[in-house]
Chains A and B, each alone.
Chain A
Amino acid sequence: MLEVKDIEVSYDGITNVVDHVSFSIDRPALVGILGPNGAGKSTLIKGMLKLIPSKGELFFRGQPLKKMQKEVAYVEQKSAIDYTFPITVRECVSLGLYPKLRLMQKLTKKHWQQVDAALEKVKMVEYKNRQIGELSGGQFQRVLIARTLVQEASLIFLDEPFVGIDATSEKIIMDILRSFRDEGKMIMIVHHDLGKVDHYFDEIIMMDKKLIAYGPTKETFVQSNIIGTYGAALGLGVL
C-alpha cells in the first residue's frame, strides 16, 4: 500500500540527516514515526513529500507521489504555521477543498456545509467565525484536522500533532484519525511520547537518522529496538 524507497536528505551535501530510509506498509494503518530529538523524523516526512530536496521515492497504492499528490494531506507542526494570519476558522478548514476546486471556482453552499460538518466533528463549530489566532493550541490543531477531513485525502502526514494540546483535543483528534484508518486511509504521525505508542499506533517506524526498525507495534516496540533508537538508559525505562 505504501512503499518508501531509499529516502536520503542532506543539508550540507556531506552528512545525511535522513540516511537511506526504506520501508513498506501493506495495510491502512496509524503509523507512528519515532526517534529522539534530531533523529530526522520531520525531515523524513518532508523528504518523502519532496517539500525539501531529497533522494528516494514514495509509492502509494502503486502510484508515485507525483501522480497522487491531490491524495496527500500534510499538517505541519502547528508552531510552523503563522498563527497571526488573518484567516477565520471556517476559511482555514475550507483550504482543504482547494485541491478539488478550479482556479476561479467559488465555494458553494454545499462546500460550506461540508466545512461546517467537519468543524462539528472536531467540536469546533461554535468557533467558526473566529480568527485562528484567537484559538488555543489544541483548538487550532482540531481545526487543522478538520481541514484534513474536508480534503478527503488517502495519505495523511501529521507532524507532532499532540504537542502542547489539552487531553480533550487529543482524544477528539485520535478518534478522527482512527476513523480515517477504518475508512482505508494511511496516517503517518511524527510522535515523541513513548508512553502512548502501544495505544495509538498499529505500525511504527523507529529511526535515528537511519532506520532502526519498522513493523507492527507489538512486534517492533521492543526493548532491543528502543535501545537501538534512544540508547540504553531510556531503553531500560520505557518497557
Chain B
Amino acid sequence: MISNFINGLVDYEFLQNALVTATVIGIVAGVVGCFIILRGMSLMGDAISHAVLPGVAISYILSINFFVGAIVFGLFASIIITFISNNSKIKSDTAIGITFSSFLALGVILIGVANSSTDLFHILFGNVLAVQDFDKWLTIIVSAIVILVVVIFFKPLLLTSFDPNMAKAFGVKVNAYHYLLMALLTVVAVSAMQSVGTILIVAMLITPAATAYLYTKSLSKMIVLSAFLGAFSSIIGLFIGYSFNIAVGSTIVLTSTSIFLISFLVSPKQIHLRKKVLKA
C-alpha cells in the first residue's frame, strides 16, 4: 500500500500537487490555528470558512480567481461579526451564528444563479486531488506570506492574545491585531478550501493546535508542534484517502482527530489534570 502511494507520487503530477498543497495548508493552518484557539475564536474560524462561499460564486460570475472574492467576503464577515459583538448586547457566538449561516445560504443561491460548473460539493468538502499547478503555487506563496506576517508580528500577537488590557494600557492597537488575525484566518480558510473544503476547514485550524497545546508550555513551541501535526495529518490523511479511494478531506480531518484523541489520553498536561481531579 505504501509502495503504491509512493509509485503514485512518482508517476502522477496530481498526487504530487495534492501532497504539496495539503502539507503546506496543514502547516499554515496549524500556525494560525494556535492564535485562534488561544483567543477563544474557534467558532470565528468556522464562520469565516463558511462565509467565503458567496465570494467564490461571485468570483466565478466575474471570471476572477476565487481567492479574491473569497477573501473579500471572509473579511466582510469578520467585520460584521466584530461590529455586532462590539456594538450590541448580543454575544459573539450569536453574531457568528447569524452571519455565517446567512453567508452560506447566500453562497448556495449565488452558485445556483451563476449556473457554475464549480462543483458545490468540492467547495464544501474539498478535492485536493484536483489541485492545479497554479493553485498549488498560489497556496505556497500565500502560506509563506501568512507565516512571514506571523513571524514579524509575533510579539504583539502574543501580547494581545495573552493580556490584551496590558497591551492596550501601553498603547498597542489591540483591535488592529484582531483584524490582522482575521485577515490571516480568512486567507488560510480560502487556501484550505481546496484541501478539506469549507465545512471541514475549522478542524484543520483547531485540532492540530489543540493537540499541540496539550504538550507545550510556550506559544512558540506550540506553533511549531501544531504546524508539524497539521502537515503530518495532511500527509497521512492523503495517503489513507488515496489508498482506499475515500474523500481525502475527511481522512485528513479524522487523522488529525485521532492524534488529538491519543494525546488527550497520554499527554503530560492531561495526566497531571487527571491526577489532580483524583486527589480532589
Contacts and interface: CB of A to CB of B under 8 A. Distances in A.
Interface in B256-270: none
Contacts of B161: 85
Contact of A157 (B152, B153, B169, B221): B169
Contacts of A85: 38, 161-162, 219
A88 B217 contact: yes
A49 interface: yes
A51 B169 contact: yes
A101 B169 contact: no
A80 B163 CA distance: 9
Contact of B155 (A66, A72, A88, A101): A101
Contact of B163 (A81, A130, A157): A81
Interface in A126-166: 129-131, 151, 153, 157
Name the prevailing secondary structure of the B interface residues: helix
Interface in B161-179: 161-163, 165-166, 168-171
Given A76-B165, A86-B219, A69 B152 contact: no
B217 A131 contact: yes
B222 interface: yes
Interface in B156-203: 156, 158-159, 161-163, 165-166, 168-171
Contacts of B73: none
Contact of B218 (A75, A87, A99, A151): A87
Contact of A51 (B162, B165, B217): B165
A87 B219 contact: yes
Interface in A32-88: 46, 49-51, 66, 69-70, 72-76, 80-82, 85-88
A70 B167 CA distance: 10
Contacts of B165: 46, 51, 74, 76, 80
A167 B169 CA distance: 29
Contact of B169 (A69, A88, A92): A69
Given A86-B217, A88-B218, A99 B170 contact: yes
18 contacts: A50-B168, A66-B171, A69-B171, A73-B166, A74-B165, A74-B170, A85-B38, A85-B219, A86-B38, A86-B216, A86-B218, A86-B222, A87-B217, A87-B219, A95-B158, A99-B170, A103-B155, A104-B152
B67 interface: no
A72 B158 CA distance: 19
Nearest to B166: A74
Q: How large is the interface on A (under 10, 10 to 19, 20 to 34, 35 or more residues)?
A: 20 to 34
Interface of B: 38, 151-153, 155-156, 158-159, 161-163, 165-166, 168-171, 213, 216-219, 221-222
A3 to B, nearest CB: 18
Candidate in B159, B169, B213, B216 with the most chain A CB atoms within 10 angstroms: B169
B163 A73 contact: no
A56 B252 CA distance: 54
Contacts, number: 78
B155 A73 contact: no
B169 A72 contact: yes
Contact of A75 (B159, B166, B168, B171): B166
A69 B219 contact: no
Contacts of A95: 158-159, 162-163, 166
A170 interface: no
B165 to A, nearest CB: 5
A78 B38 CA distance: 17
B168 A51 contact: yes
B219 A70 contact: no
Given A74-B170, A81-B163, A87-B158, 10 more contacts: A51-B169, A69-B171, A70-B171, A73-B169, A82-B162, A87-B219, A99-B170, A104-B152, A131-B217, A131-B218
Contacts of A131: 217-218
Nearest to B40: A82
Contacts of B166: 73-76, 95
Contacts of B168: 49-51
Contacts of B158: 87, 95
B21 to A, nearest CB: 29
A91 interface: yes
A92 B219 CA distance: 11
Contacts of B213: 86
A98 B159 contact: yes
Contacts of A81: 162-163
Interface in A85-134: 85-88, 91-92, 95, 98-99, 101, 103-104, 129-131
Contacts of B38: 82, 85-86
